[in-house]
Amino acid sequence: MIKLYFIRHGRQDSPLCNVDVPLCDAGRRQAKLVAERLKKYNIEALYSSNLIRARETAEIINQQLKLSHNIEEDLREISFGALEGLRDVEIKERFGDFLKERATAESDIPYPEGESGLDVYRRVFPVISRIVERAIEDNIENIAIVSHGGVIRTVVAGILGADFAKKLCIAKDLENCSITQINYDDAIGNFIVERVNDYAHIEVEPELMRKYFKRSL
């Protein structure tokens, strides 16, 4: 059994949509908390997307794990297209109709000039397959993958065979530095969703939870 621990990156240091920036202080604290937890899991390989917030989260985790850090560009966040670089208030003003349609979770509509859930799955799943193939070859069982909220929800939906529109029904508040575990049973060749949005390690510092972050916006 190969265990893939998907970790959402720590909180980024910007209120703008999907800009490539480092972590804020709270994000670094979140990363240290998940690093302490992952020490117990015998992690043998570490991957992240190429975006700064994911790379930095992985680097903080790796202060505990001491592994090679593999960067996979295709693990990057969903493309928000024309929404990228905007504040929430601007997005609501300019793309209100799109947001309302998307919120119904009835169809997998792409972001304006950006990606849909299916687009992301087609980009990300081959990377996951390669990671699993390497793990089988190297007899590795426990892998940490630092990625993004849109990616993690999409991967879970795809493995469950759900309509990609339903990814929005998976952990509405996917916590920064939460753990989503997906196992690969190499005996039968199936992926298994073991747990989603496990943030018990973040609860010890409740001010780092997204519900408090949202209140400050």
DSSP secondary structure string, 58-109? HHHHHHHH---EEE-GGGSPPP-GGGTT--HHHHHHHSHHHHHHHHTTSS-P
Among left, alpha and beta (phi > 0; psi -120 to 50; other), residue 42 is left
Any domain includes 38: yes
Q: What is the CATH number of the domain that holds 23?
A: 3.40.50.1240
User: 3-state DSSP call for residue 182?
Assistant: strand
Any domain includes 35: yes
pLDDT tens for the chain, residues 1 to 217: 999 999 999 999 999 999 999 999 999 999 999 999 999 999 999 999 999 999 999 999 999 999 999 999 999 999 999 999 999 999 999 999 999 999 888 899 999 999 999 999 999 999 999 999 999 999 999 999 999 999 999 999 999 999 999 999 999 889 999 999 999 999 899 999 999 999 999 999 999 998 877 654 4
Any domain includes 86: no
Any domain includes 95: no
Host domain of residue 61:
2-78+116-215
CB atoms within 10 A of CB 146: 31
Any domain includes 195: yes
Any domain includes 7: yes
pTM for this predicted structure? 0.95
Can you tell me which residue has the tokens 């493995």?
Answer: 159
- Which is nearest to 147 in space by CA: 55, 41, 60? 55
Counting the structural domains of the chain, the total is 1
